[in-house]
Chain A
Amino acid sequence: MSTVITPRDPLTQAQGVEAGYAQTARRWPAQPLVRRPHSLSELSGPRVQGRLAEIRGDLAGYGATRAIGQLIRLRVRVVDEDGAPVPGAVVEAWHCNAAGKYIHPNDTHDAPVDPNFYGAARMVAGDSGLVELRTIKPGAYPVPDTNGWWRPPHVHFSVWGRVWLSRLVTQMFFPGEPLNEADAILNAIRDPGARGRCIARLTPSKTTELVYEYQLVVRGRKASPGMP
C-alpha cells in the first residue's frame, strides 16, 4: 500500500519565523521553500529499528533510588492520518528533571541535577502503535537571554513513521499549566485545536503514577483508488 503526503496546513503547523523566538530569524530560510514532486525516494523510508536500540523505558527507576518528582506514566500512541496505528514506530523522548535541569553541556540554568534521573529514552511501538514511558514530570525553566520567557513543562519526541516524509519532531505539554498560554513554541501553532492536541490528557489512575495519554499523528495516509 503506497503512502500519500499532502502539503502542510499553515494553521496547524508553524511557519518558521516567530517574533517571540529570536533564533528563528537567524535560522529559518529567507527564501520560500520549494515544492517538489514525490517519488519512492521520499515515499519510502528507513527501518531505523535496526540501528536504534531501545533504551531506558523507565526514567524514574533508572538510578539507585527513584528520581525526584511527581511519578508519571505517558501512554503515547503513534498513528497515521488515517488513524491507523504505526507498528514498529521508533520514538525518542527527552526532557529535563523536576527542577527544570537537563543533563546537557548547553544547560546553564542554576538548578540541581538529580543523580537518579537521566532524561533520555528510546522506545519501539508494538502492533497497536503504543509506547509507554514511566518517568517524572519535568519542571519549568527560564530561557536565557530572553525577557522572562519560561518554558512550560514539556517532553520532546522524535518519531519515525512509515516513510521519509513522515518524520516528526515535536514537544508534548501538560494540561493546566499557566505557562502554556505564553510559550512562544506552543503558540507558534495558530490553530487552537491543533495547539490543544499538543497537550496530554490526564486519565484516571489507580496506581501510584499519574497517567497521561497522548497521540502522535505522523504524516501520510494510504493512497486510495482514484486518488490523483
Chain B
Amino acid sequence: MKRLVPTAEMTLGPFFPPEFAQGLNDLAPGAAHAVEITGRVTELDGKPLDNVIVEIWQADAAGRYGSPDFPGWGRAATDARGEYRFRTIRPGAAAGRAPHINFLILYSGLMRQLQTVMFFETSNDPVLHAVDASRRDRLVAQKTSPASYRFDIRLRGGEETPFFDD
C-alpha cells in the first residue's frame, strides 16, 4: 500500500507573526470555574525565552475531547520574562488517563516541535509512568492558589522538563 513519508519538520524561526499568537490563550471565556496556568520557558542556564509559542490541547470537564462547547485548544506566546499564561478549565479524566493537558512547544532553535504533558497531581497515568520515576514530579504543576497552577518548562539543562517522542 502506498505510504507517504511525513514532511520534515523545521524550526518556527524567530519571525513568527505576532498576530498569530494573540487572543487565543483563554479557552474558557465566561466560564465560572476557570483555572489559570502560568509558567516560564527557559533554555540552557535558565535563561528565559521571549516569544516561545506554546499550544495546548485538553479534554473538557467530563474528560471528552473535541466537545462542541469546549474546543480544548489554545495558543500563547511567552513575554520578555519567558512567561506564558492560559485561562482554561480543569479537564476531567478520559478513559485510562488522569486529568492532564498536552503541551506543544515551537521556537527558533527547535528543529522539531517538543511535546510535554502537565498533570494536576501525581497520578497513576500511563504517560506519566513512561517517564523515569526520578523526573515525574517535573510534569506535575504546582498549585499556587485554589484556581491557579504553575508549570515551568525547562528546555535543556538542570531540572530539564521531560519531553515525549511519538
Contacts and interface: CB of A to CB of B under 8 A. Distances in A.
Interface of A: 5, 7-9, 12-16, 18, 21, 23-31, 33-42, 44-48, 50-52, 79-83, 92, 94, 96, 102, 104-107, 119-120, 122, 156, 158, 164-165, 167-171, 185-186, 188-189, 193-195, 197-198, 215-219, 221
Q: How large is the interface on B (under 10, 10 to 19, 20 to 34, 35 or more residues)?
A: 35 or more
Contacts of B24: 51-52
Task: Please list the 6 inter-chain residue pairs (A to B) with the smallest Cβ-Cβ separation, ordered nearest first.
Answer: A23-B109, A46-B73, A33-B165, A14-B111, A120-B17, A27-B109
A26 B156 contact: yes
24 contacts: A8-B6, A18-B111, A21-B109, A29-B156, A33-B163, A34-B130, A34-B165, A40-B94, A41-B59, A41-B102, A46-B72, A80-B4, A81-B3, A82-B4, A83-B2, A94-B17, A96-B15, A106-B14, A156-B15, A164-B57, A169-B11, A169-B12, A186-B10, A193-B5
B165 A39 contact: no
B109 A26 contact: yes
Given A27-B156, A30-B156, A45 B108 contact: no
Interface of B: 1-20, 24, 43-45, 47, 49, 51, 55, 57, 59, 65-66, 71-73, 94-97, 100, 102, 104, 106-115, 126-127, 130-132, 135, 155-157, 160-166
SS class, residues of chain A in contact with chain B? loop
B15 A107 contact: yes
Given A23-B108, A36-B164, A94-B17, A29 B114 contact: yes
SS class, residues of chain B in contact with chain A? loop
Contacts of B3: 81-82, 221
A164 B102 contact: yes
A27 B107 contact: yes
B19 A45 contact: no
B15 A39 contact: no
B4 A14 contact: no
B111 A188 contact: yes
Contacts of A51: 24, 71, 73
